[in-house]
Amino acid sequence: MKTLVITMLLFLSGTCFASDPGDTSTDLWNTILQTHVNANGDVNYTALKKDPNFDKVLTSFAKELPKDLWTKYEKMAYWMNVYNAYTLKLIVDHLPLKSITNLKEPWDQKFIVLENKSFSLNQIEHEILRKEFQDPRIHFGINCASISCPVLHNKAFYAENVNATLEMLTARFINDKSRNTISSSKLSISSIFDWFKEDFTKGQSLIAFLNKYSKTSINSDASIDYQSYNWNLNGK
């Protein structure tokens, strides 16, 4: 009996350890975001480059790939935080820079090394975030360092706030008149809704998805066109 109890305690202890998503790293990332990103998502890249804590948080993220026992939201929070952090790293490593598109294949560079495994931003977005979680709101949680992107939220994702934060960011983006023009009969919306249409139309129409968040009720037969994308840097 004593052996059984000890075994169970060791198992539970190991489970708790394996499912720990590393809040220390996330806390530091949250501080960096609060320090260098304003409420509008504008990034002070010059100051960020000089912040020694930025390298520390990247090093910390690199040591803690998600474990099987992490919850769905723990994994989502980790991967979105990592995506955003390494997007910023890509920019600060190439300052001065007008646009991320000035770089050669920015989303396909395998410059992200996590537990000795190399990833590109595209791998994290398409092969992990989109494929594993199949949640279209993820598009409003990750940032491409450009003006037309959904704003970079200046707070980190934690497991306990992922769902509520994605709801808020999705509604914010859809109702942002600088990124989408919405009336009941006509839409001029972000190209994100065209590029990733398959994500937004699983089991529903694009208009049905938009109506979940739009302050303006959209007719089911409303016309749709997509805006050109501004790839200029979202900061200085």
Q: Mind listing the pLDDT tens digit for each residue in 46-91?
A: 999 999 999 999 999 999 899 999 999 999 999 999 999 999 999 9
Residue 22 pLDDT level (bands cut at 50, 70, 90): low
Is residue 157 within 8 A of residue 81, CB to CB? The reply is: yes
Q: Is the pLDDT of residue 21 over 90?
A: no
Q: In 3D, which of 134, 147, 141, 131 has the Cα closest to residue 190?
A: 147
- Is the pLDDT at 232 greater than 90, yes or no? yes
pLDDT above 80 (res 13):
no
| Residue 148, pLDDT score | 98
* pLDDT at 1 (0 to 100): 47
Residue 46 CB neighbours (<10 A): 13
Q: What integer is the mean pLDDT of 90-115?
A: 97
Do 189 and 182 touch, CB atoms closer than 8 A?
yes
Is there a contact between 48 and 54 (Cβ–Cβ < 8 Å)?
Answer: yes
Cα–Cα separations (whole angstroms), residue 188 to 179, 218, 226: 9, 12, 5
Contact present, 133 and 141 (Cβ < 8 Å): no
**Is pLDDT of 216 > 70?**
yes
Q: pLDDT class for 14, splitting at 50, 70, 90? A: very low
- According to the model, what pLDDT value does residue 132 have? 97
Structure confidence at residue 96 (pLDDT): 96
pLDDT at res. 80 = 98
Q: What is the pLDDT of residues 146-177, one digit of tens each?
A: 999 999 999 999 999 999 999 999 999 999 99
- pLDDT at residue 75 in the model: 97
- How many residues are given for the chain? 236
Higher per-residue confidence, 170 vs 23: 170
